[in-house]
Chains A and B, each alone.
Chain A
Amino acid sequence: MSGIAAAFRRHPELMVAAILVVTVVTIGLVNPVFWQPSNLFSLLRASVITGILGLAVLLVMLSGGIDVSFPAFAIAAMYLTVKAMIAWGFDSILPAFAMATGIGLLLGLVNAVFVHYLRMIPLIVTLGTGTAVRGFILGIVGTSQINIDQMPQRLIEFGRGQLFSVTQADGSQTGLSAMVLVYALIALLVHLLLRYTMVGRGIYALGGGEEAARRVGFNIRQTTFLVYGLAGAIAGFAGLLHGAMIWTANPRDMVGLELDVIAAVVLGGASIFGGRGSVIGTILGGLTLIVITNSLIILGIDTTWQRVVVGLIVITATAATAWRDRKRIA
């Protein structure tokens, strides 16, 4: 028994995995429709954007900060890129994603400047940059939605890509979105960064203790800029990917999404005090959140309950983490 407890303590991901399994099995028992490939595929597809954004938040939280500006950055990158694609008449995928990522990166660096040089609490900084960026997009760039008929064709095709498709029991075809692969790739890159590079370990070290990190010889400024810059870049990328997946570019999209994403990351075992959390945990946390919120309908619960459920998940996950960390200190 203590062996299991110790394993859970050393690998918090196991806990999240257990929660996910229990959730999936329970929902599957209540309504077997859950197990249909179309449902499973759509859940995986739905977890892509939340998951990628979760990786951005994970980076920030590992360093001991928090970020609520990323949905605004994602939308800004997406809307500006799509507008540019239409205006300048290019629709190749790579330059488009490079542009969106670059916009996100620049915005993220603005956060870094405020957090590092002006020593302001990250929550308040990112609240400010998020609002300002959204105000800029809606107030200056435009408020109109770019619909499927105007969206760059190649972008739509990219978003439509499927890895494979299967025939379901009722004869209908259903496919797994190729975007899952993009998500997996980014997750792998972030995992490699965090686990196998010195700068990645520097993020953990910074979250573990800024003064100690400085004494050991980590460059705190470089690490802070990397964290917020990369978080912004990932958000920018995810923004355009989101546009490609839903075939529209809506500058009012993703309002309030930060709460879902933070919920997913916290559920994945990351601590807001920094230094604790992993890519695997975040992926599992994101999946769990998506499975729960997207299964309300097949559980026969009205979707208006979604906010309440997400809120309860945040509260439960943070209370559990606080309880865990208190035991650790004692």
Chain B
Amino acid sequence: MSIQFKTIKELSLMLEKKDISNHELIEETFNLVEKYDKLNAFITLNKEKALEKAKALDNKSSDLALSGIPIAQKDLFVTKNLRTTCGSNILSNFIPPYSATVIENLESSGCISIGKTNMDEFAMGSSNETSFFGKVNNPWGANLVPGGSSGGSAAAVAAGIVPAATGTDTGGSIRQPASLCGITGIKPTYGRISRWGMIAFASSLDQAGPMARTVEDCAILMNQMCSHDSKDTTSLDEAIPDFTKNLDKEIKGKKIGIVKEFDLSKLDKNVVKVFEESKKHYESLGVEFIEVSLPNISLSVPTYYVVAPAECSSNLSRFDGVKYGKRCENPKDLEDLYIRSRSEGFGDEVKRRILIGAYVLSAGFYDAYYKKAQQVRRLIKNDFDDAFKKVDLIMTPTTRGPAFEAGSMSDPIEMYLEDLFTVPANLAGLPGISIPSGYVDNKPLGLQLIGNSLQEEQLLNVAHNFQKTTDWHLKTPDMEIKS
């Protein structure tokens, strides 16, 4: 029985009914990894340990929530004794001595980590082209990017190799690749999931989340991934609900906001058509649409490109070739060691962002850029606070269009605008989800829902109702061209 394209729920049932053993499931997963290795979705595999864990589960039954479920981990989470590169040359030899809290949470709930997925270097990119380990291919078409930065995770799920993968989202890195690969991905409220063991990019924006084939699977994963963690001072100490409990609740009467300032007429007409059809579909489910104004939303991307590089330049100063990671050959003195280890270890996009960060934080520019951006960030958050007085959720397209060709976007700013619809939720710390909502030229396209702080249950409920009554999320790519 094939396991390709199965959901967590389906695989759990197969294991429970003993249609397949734990060992067979993991073996079959690695067969798929090999079959689709041209996707370049994985940087490091965990084959031996994964098979060992599966065998142990076959010998001793377990009632853990995710017992035996194969999962792919973004290579941004540190994994004990398993190489963690963050898509960078500077960490290409790094074997962490501990695991991230998210990894521990998932593995102790029975998940089997099958490997580490490819990603844009240090999560800086929207196409997976900045990875030191080469670009990832989108299962939906030759030479299409999978989006980024969690591109390897998105491609692995879209190709049906694994039912789920972890991702991280600083400006859209879960939702944008989910949109471009035709899968579901949620970025929870900032602080819901521990950042302990997540290699930091922009600490006030970074948030981990699940990527899967369905909203229901995302809810199942959220139940395990969320926890209060004393090792992360920004981890929320709030009650964690059972995210699966209210999935099926009726959504009649919900109010969804449409952002007045997002001028969709500038987008491809087929992209707009998909969005309008999703709106109509929600209307048929009893949802009411209300126009909301977010007056400062057009400044989200410029705000992001001050705040994120500033935090990144500070966070990435730890990579200096001294304590771990790669060191240059034969440094002549300490200064030379720092400069050459970093210059050889980082790729162009990472260097670009470190320099922007160093510039906006430097003496004389701090107020004009960094402080100003933080003030605009407050204005954007205030805009959302006002909007959520009128509506339950806000809906936008996830991306400006479907997957684009690798190498087609060479202007950094053009690439930055790829995050136009996703960045605002990170700035305001709000939860956002992307679900498959249609196709343009046989390429998937996502719909984004943004909720108020801590309202993931409602977000998942409204998204699940869409999937219960549509079949966009059930479509699978024809990958003969890829394998």
A interacts with B: no
- B residues with a Cβ closer than 8 A to A are none
